[in-house]
Amino acid sequence: MTELAGKNVLVVGATGALGSRIAHRLVAMGATVVLTGTDRARLDALEVPGARFVVDLADGADAVVALANEAVGGIDGVVVAAGVVAFGPASGLDPATLARLFAVNATGPIALIAAALPLLAESAAEGRAPFVVTISGLVAESPAAGMAAYSASKGALAVFVRAASREARRSGIRLLDARPGHTETGLATRAIAGTAPAFPAGLDPDAVAERIVAAITGDEKDLPSTAF
For the chain, domain boundaries: 8-227
Q: In terms of Cα–Cα distance, which of 116, 134, 128, 122 is closest to 179?
A: 134
Cβ contact 103:157 at 8 Å: no
Stretch 23-46: mean pLDDT, rounded? 97
Report helix, strand or coil for 178.
Answer: strand
Separation CA 141–CA 137 (nearest Å): 8
Question: Does the structure show a pLDDT above 90 at 191?
Answer: yes
Q: Residues 6 or more apart from 118 whose CB is under 8 A from it?
A: none
Stretch 59-86: mean pLDDT, rounded? 95
How does residue 12 score in pLDDT terms, banded at 50, 70 and 90?
Answer: very high
CATH of 8-227, one of 3.40.640.10, 3.40.50.720, 3.30.2310.20, 3.40.1050.10: 3.40.50.720
Q: What is the pLDDT of residues 99-150, one digit of tens each?
A: 999 999 999 999 999 999 999 999 999 999 999 999 999 999 999 999 999 9
How does residue 62 score in pLDDT terms, banded at 50, 70 and 90?
Answer: confident
